[in-house]
Structure 1
């Protein structure tokens, strides 16, 4: 090639963009010493900037007066890797960014239980959303969702607590994960909040549960533990049929998880890179509550031998909850879930990551209009963390359709 030709192509190459960043599938160990300049695509947005999915179409059944409908939200477009080039940020985000208070609740009826909870108060006329996380998670799983709900409905309050054996909660027996015990805990946590915050009466409540939490809130609704203060309940990505099928591979999944992490940031990165949580902004606030530093002497659910071995290998950040120890309770969580979900009183909302998760009983119930179904495509199991904006829109609209306080009854004849 002539000198003139080489000069021409050099000028062209100088105008081309830089090489793309490392792939999302790279292992944390391969990335921990790198100065990563690429950011995770918007679907995994992990910075503090505002990021919103497009709102649900107002012409859809999401904004109708009907409380029994099926909604399939539009997919979120994901930009090509490398089109967004902000500095990667995996630093933890404190709970104070999403909640007003960190409560330590001790029920007067059960003083051996101490529930760690995150709380933002509701106004006098607003509802209280009470949440229950899934197995191995924590109340901070709902942190970003709580903020999104408040953006749409500022008068709403959120109470999100850690279940026994999770996060900062401690009880007399942190290894008792029977469904009835977890449902009793839910009720006791709400009553303890009423006592500690000195409410005259419970506010109108919408209960929301993810995975195991979905089984708990359904059981709470079926047993009528909250009485007429319960407006409605929502279940996130769990149904009996698919849950029972998934249990067969649960142990295999647990064996593939890292035993521990070298740093807390590496733990956050693993959750995003593995697509366990597909929203980095949520992972940065929720993941720190799942881990503890073994070298600092903090508590945790992993066996001491395993934790010591991991610490000796340079991975001191351990899982707080040993999910393997919950195996004896798995079937009890989900057997009969579909029947209870359809029979319990109150408005019903089921949010799934795909229609393939529906079992026969729920499919028939949906065809009969017994509950509202929302499908969020292109999200994982943690639907409320992966798509907090869309989930918040759905929950607020769901509350409004079931808000009995907005109903004005006509005066009786003798009152005219």
Structure 2
């Protein structure tokens, strides 16, 4: 404000105060003599009060939603389940390749892999998703939609691991009380087999460029598959969501305590969805409405196929309390495999071939080996502190942006190589 403006304002103010007819109770400030509020002038180059470190001074644009919080329990909106057909084009029931006649190995178990697929378009990539323990392929449903918004040519393959979702296994020695083999070697072999079976069933001439994405246990599975090299040159890279060796091993110590705090069952699927959102296990209600139905099974209408899943925790207790919807996967029964999932994960993550990305909900999850690797630029790191453990469900939009950018950075088709010297000489061009 200039000196002239200040003098004029002071004069007007004195005049207004001397005026006995001034209505001091005018809350709307409509008096003709009252000065309008002057806008506060903020220097763009000022202190940290106007920087992004202070969210109170930053107004994010509606499109970017820089400081948007994960969606909680919706008010006045439905918590009814959302069908998988909203996000995927088809579901697949995949069988392993037939055995060779001269194969002397013992008969394998009869397994049918269940997966959700949206096919890639043209030369688009295939994002292959593996969920965490106790979850299912539907955990990636909303994320798949967000990826396709930003990369319409992308395909999504989300697998149900054995003992989870609608993947079924039967052997002559398997009983209802026997936990499935969830060793890391078996799960990574399952993922490799399912990818090959998908290519065969879809009649793809070649495997599309693959980006492996794994959450929690799934992160260990995709890292193991990348280390083994089963996918060869088709693998562009792999992304691990919110799991590192050190913090995972520490968390296993309290896993049984956590499982004991979960409800044994629910009266309905809707009640299960509401519990996940209210407990902030999943902080996005839309994603919970899609993924939670795949975690539960109705024991009052159980069929032989449902029994193959091994039942859920507290099945009898759930029935007694009138809550027949119980957990589809008995996580407590998988305890013998817990340590094997994560031992050596950091080393394998850094050593396996292909691009690498780690998405975490907090930097405190980094162990020493990964911290050193990150400082050396061996992998890309993104942190979403506003998310919980289920990063891809809490923040599907931000996760999709990170994954699409990761693919584009590793897309070999975008590379333009210089011409070979021999070819230039053959064309009579100077070198």
| TM-score interval, normalised by the smaller of the two chains | 0.7 to 0.9
The answer to whether the 8 A contact 2:391-2:399 is kept is: yes
Aligned match of 2:277: 272
Deviations 1:336-361 (A, max 9, x none): 00000000011000000000100010
C-alpha contact (below 8 Å) 2:115/2:159 kept by paired residues: yes
**Structure 2 CA distance for aligned equivalents of residues 283 and 305 of structure 1:** 20
Of 182, 188, 191, which residue of structure 2 is paired with 1:183? 188
- Structure 1 or 2, whichever has the larger Rg, is 2
Give secondary structure in 2 for the equivalent of 1:113.
strand
The answer on 1:120 being equivalent to 2:109 is: no
The answer to whether the 8 Å contact 2:127/2:213 transfers is: yes
Q: 1:396 to 1:343 in 2, by over 3 A?
A: same
Query: Counterpart in 2 of 1:393?
Result: 401
Cα contact 2:264–2:326 (8 A) shared by 1: yes
Of stretches 108-117 and 280-289 in structure 1, the one that deviates more from structure 2 is 108-117
Q: Which residue, out of 135, 141, 144, partners 1:143?
A: 141
Counterpart check, 1:407 vs 2:415? yes
The offset of 1:86, in angstroms, is: 4.8
Identify which of 352, 355, 372 aligns with 2:360.
Answer: 352
- Per the TM alignment, residue 54 of structure 1 is displaced from its structure 2 partner at its CA by 5.5
Alignment of 1:20-31 (within 5 A): none
Give deviations 1:139-171, integer Å, cap 9, x for gaps.
000000000000000000000010000000012
Please say if residues 75 and 376 of structure 1, whose CA atoms lie closer than 8 Å, have aligned partners that are also in contact: no
Q: CA deviation at 1:307?
A: 1.4
Q: Choose from 304, 321, 326 the match for 2:329.
A: 321
> Residue in 1 aligned with 2:79?
90
Q: CA RMSD in A?
A: 2.1
Residue 225 and residue 140 in structure 1: after superposition, are their counterparts in 2 closer, same or farther (change >3 A)?
same
- Give unmatched runs, 5+ long, in structure 1: 1-51, 57-73
Measure the CA separation in 1 of the matches of 2:312 and 2:131.
25
* 1:46-85 pair list within 5 angstroms: 55=64, 74-77=66-69
TM-score (norm. length: structure 1): 0.79
Query: In the alignment, which of 338, 351, 365 is matched to residue 373 of structure 2?
Result: 365
Question: 1:87 deviation in Å?
Answer: 1.6
The aligned residue for residue 255 of structure 2 is 250
Alignment partner, residue 29 of structure 1: none
Unpaired runs of 5+ residues, structure 2, are 1-60, 99-107, 172-178
How many correspondences in the alignment?
A: 345
CA distance 1:313–1:77, shift in 2 (3 Å): closer
- Kept in 1, the 8 Å contact 2:358–2:382? The answer is yes
Identify the match of residue 168 of structure 1 among 141, 166, 169: 166
Cα distance between partner residues in 2 of 1:78 and 1:100: 27
In the aligned structure 2, how far is the partner of 1:338 from the partner of 1:306?
35
Structure 1's consecutive aligned runs of 4 or more residues displaced over 6 angstroms after TM superposition are: none
Deviation of residue 125 (structure 1)? 1.4
Cα distance change on mapping 1:215 and 1:305 into 2, 3 Å: closer
When normalised by structure 2's length, the TM-score is: 0.77
Q: Is the 8 A contact 2:313 2:329 kept in 1?
A: no
Q: Which has the higher contact order (CA 8 A, sep 6+)?
A: 1
Match of 1:103 among 74, 92, 98: 92
The structural deviation recorded for 1:124 is 1.7
Equivalent residue number for residue 224 of structure 1: 229
Q: Residues 87 and 406 of structure 1: is their aligned pair in 2 closer, same or farther, counting only changes over 3 Å?
A: same
